[in-house]
């Protein structure tokens, strides 16, 4: 606990109006005697503190000063004990070994040099001390002797903002609750609200608690509001409010198609629609969670309907057909997928054997009316596909497909002509004036990018379990999963050797504890999630124990020291099926042996695809213009010839103009 400031009877207090001696104390007030005139006056303790001159304060009663010398020495750390003779040598030149004085520490030597010599001498005995720390210890030693070296921070357990009046904290809490769902404000506005509320509740200034300073109010608001700080962006607060407060439970899937996520978005590209207008198309995507493979895509001119989703499902249930650009697979050296070994020669020539074929057994959708339409529901029911609606106000329920949309924007859309920038502020003035793709051309380009780039690009969500920094592509993960199945088993428990395991310090976040690139979580971490220190608003760290040969679990002590908390890896293979280990190993080997693209290579390929698509589009437009011009020229020549050969009824013109006839024939 912080040592309180006290006044001792008989102490001399230096006020702005003179020096006074403390005579007595009663009912919160001091009786003071003027040392110059001998007159007495009574001051309340708060008024006495306010009349102290700037820079002065009441004396502090330090209990360490009353300790016996041996108790003071026992309370010192070993480093501080070893520092005492060096500090004494700095003050008066007394040698540390009791021998002859060291000339380097003579009093005529400057203090700066003596400090440098001391640091050098401490380094020789294995004590590494910065110059600033040595200066602070020297000042404490000169002022209070050995007692000044005692660490007074140990045992301090004062609660956060214990010095802020309870009425102030209660009033501020009411104000913060009132800002829920409101626009962003500043700390000065919150302080004004607090000031008015306190004045209304405590009309008498003597009874009114002291208002905290702006900096104290800022720290108090951050401590009390958490992720609902009214000074942060309203959209960020709204998103943070949707985050679950309990343990995060990821929906683990075993094989391809066990869960496919479906959603729609508006692409940030202006294209020429079949109707002739220029607008942004709507993209509907069906993405497999286990492998991150794109099961199906659909581009529509307007908002997709239930019928559009049924069409997309039909496309997903049938393997992709070979496209004219399929020769690019061989040019990049991409392998065929394992499922194609069961196809006949004719089927291999028909189907795209370089892409996965995934049958979606369950599709996760949102609560939109188009996804809950009758046509789409009946189509799924006919083919045995289960539909699951995502929870309301849960932005992370379809994180896989949302991540796909973000990658489409950054890795595809910004390279295509007509890129809108994603917002009005980023849209260029000439966005829709250049060469734009048609909706069909955009669909062909997007399909090509998906099959070649996305399916073979390393994905951060498919991290390798055996080599840090190695990620899998959707195709390599699919190839590893396609032929392996299994069943669930229970995870084993071991706690006997926890105390002997190595330790690390980590923070407990909303999603658990991140360690070695993995997330670990437990329902018993609830009291420690997003906990903040009152002094600096920092997240305190906890000590975790881990087994280097077992990445499935970590352990830490419970807050009340009641026992160990076992935190499991959120993607733990033991919670899935036993052959998950074989899948991970096979995926690891395939990721090392097969070709996959980095982000830079993917961007370069997208530029090449863009240039080729734009070039073909421009050539087609130019050829169409040339054909039209030629047709107009031929039509003009035919009209001229017809006018010449038409008989003239005028008797004065009985002869044919052969010169004009020859010119028209040419």
pLDDT at position 604 is 87
Provide the H-helix boundaries in 492-593: 580-593
Return averaged pLDDT per consecutive 10 residues of the chain, 666 residues in all: 55 76 74 80 77 57 56 75 85 80 84 87 86 85 77 59 83 90 91 92 88 88 88 85 71 84 92 84 92 90 85 80 83 85 75 86 88 85 85 80 92 90 81 81 91 91 84 89 52 45 81 85 84 74 73 80 80 56 67 78 87 83 81 79 62 52 56
Structure tokens at 600: 């830079």
Q: What is the pLDDT of residue 395?
A: 67
Contacts of residue 455, defined as CB under 8 A and 6 or more positions apart, other chains included, come to 293, 294, 355, 356, 473, 474, 475
Distance CA 279, CA 636 (A): 38
For the chain, the residue count is 666
Q: What does the pLDDT read at residue 65?
A: 54
Distance CA 166, CA 196 (A): 17
β-bridge mates for residue 21, sequence order? 12, 33
> What pTM does this model have?
0.52
Contacts of 421 (CB under 8 A, 6+ apart): 268, 427, 428, 431
Residue 532, CA distances (Å) to 130, 216, 309, 536 in order: 30, 15, 47, 8
Tell me the C-alpha distance between 401 and 412, whole Å: 15
CB of 298 within 8 A of CB of 304?
yes
| 22, 43 Cβ separation under 8 angstroms | no
Distance CA 501, CA 547 (A): 6
Return d(Cα 447, Cα 450) in angstroms, integer: 5
Contact in structure between 403 and 461 (CB atoms under 8 Å): yes
Please answer whether residues 473 and 596 qualify as being in contact, where contact means their C-beta atoms are separated by less than 8 angstroms.
Answer: yes
């Amino acid at each position: 606990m912080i040592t309180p400031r006290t006044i001792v009877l008989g102490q001399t207090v230096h006020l702005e109006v003179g020096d006074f001696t403390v005579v007595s104390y009663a009912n919160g007030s001091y009786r003071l005697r003027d040392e110059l005139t001998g007159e007495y006056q009574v001051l309340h303790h708060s008024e006495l503190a306010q009349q102290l001159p700037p820079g002065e304060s009441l004396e502090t009663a330090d209990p360490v000063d009353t300790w016996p010398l041996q108790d003071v020495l026992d309370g010192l750390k070993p480093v501080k004990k070893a520092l005492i003779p060096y500090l004494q040598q700095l003050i008066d030149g007394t040698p540390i070994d009791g021998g002859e004085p060291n000339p380097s520490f003579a009093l005529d030597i400057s203090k700066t040099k003596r400090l440098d010599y001391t640091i050098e001498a401490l380094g020789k005995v294995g004590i590494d001390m910065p110059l600033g720390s040595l200066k602070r210890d020297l000042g404490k030693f000169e002022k209070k002797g050995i007692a000044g070296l005692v660490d007074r921070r140990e045992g301090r357990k004062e609660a956060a903002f214990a010095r802020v009046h309870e009425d102030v904290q209660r009033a501020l809490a009411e104000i913060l609750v009132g800002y829920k769902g409101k626009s962003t404000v500043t700390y000065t506005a919150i302080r004004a609200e607090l000031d008015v509320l306190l004045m209304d509740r405590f009309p008498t200034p003597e009874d009114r608690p002291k208002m905290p300073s702006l900096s104290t109010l800022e720290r108090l608001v951050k401590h009390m509001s958490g992720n609902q700080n009214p000074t942060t962006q309203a959209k960020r607060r709204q998103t943070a409010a949707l985050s679950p407060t309990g343990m995060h439970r990821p929906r683990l899937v075993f094989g391809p198609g066990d869960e496919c996520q479906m959603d729609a978005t508006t692409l940030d590209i202006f294209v020429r629609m079949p109707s002739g207008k220029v607008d942004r198309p709507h993209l509907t995507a069906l993405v497999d969670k286990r492998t991150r493979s794109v099961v199906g895509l659909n581009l529509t001119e307007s908002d997709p309907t239930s019928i559009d989703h049924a069409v997309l499902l039909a496309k997903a249930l049938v393997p992709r057909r070979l496209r004219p650009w399929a020769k690019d697979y061989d040019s990049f050296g991409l392998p065929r997928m394992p499922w194609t070994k069961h196809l006949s020669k004719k089927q291999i020539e028909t189907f795209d054997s370089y892409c996965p074929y995934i049958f979606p057994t369950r599709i996760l959708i949102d609560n939109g009316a188009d996804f809950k339409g009758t046509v789409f529901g009946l189509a799924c029911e006919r083919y045995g596909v289960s539909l699951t609606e995502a929870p309301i106000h849960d932005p992370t329920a379809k994180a896989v497909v949302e991540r796909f949309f973000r990658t489409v924007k950054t890795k595809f859309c910004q390279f295509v002509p007509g890129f809108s920038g994603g917002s009005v502020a980023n849209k260029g003035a000439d966005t829709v004036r250049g060469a734009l793709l048609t909706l069909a051309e955009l669909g062909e380009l997007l399909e090509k990018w998906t099959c070649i780039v996305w399916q073979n690009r390393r994905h951060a969500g498919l991290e390798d379990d055996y080599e840090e920094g190695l990620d899998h592509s959707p195709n390599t993960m699919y190839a590893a999963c396609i032929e392996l199945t299994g069943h669930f088993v229970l995870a084993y428990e071991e706690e006997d050797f926890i105390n002997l395991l190595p330790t690390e310090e980590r923070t407990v976040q909303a999603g658990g504890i991140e360690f070695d690139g993995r997330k670990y979580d437990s329902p018993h971490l609830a009291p420690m999630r997003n906990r903040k220190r009152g002094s600096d608003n920092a997240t305190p760290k906890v000590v975790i124990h881990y087994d280097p040969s077992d990445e499935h679990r970590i352990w830490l002590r419970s807050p009340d020291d009641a026992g160990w908390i076992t935190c499991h890896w959120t993607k733990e293979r033991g919670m899935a099926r036993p052959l998950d280990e074989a899948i991970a190993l096979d995926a690891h080997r395939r990721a090392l042996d097969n070709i996959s693209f980095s982000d830079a290579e993917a961007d370069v390929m997208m530029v090449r695809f863009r240039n080729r698509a734009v070039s073909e589009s421009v050539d087609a437009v130019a050829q169409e213009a040339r054909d039209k011009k030629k047709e107009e020229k031929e039509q003009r020549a035919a009209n001229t010839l017809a006018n010449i050969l038409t008989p003239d009824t005028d008797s004065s013109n009985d002869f044919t103009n052969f010169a004009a006839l020859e010119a028209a024939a040419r």
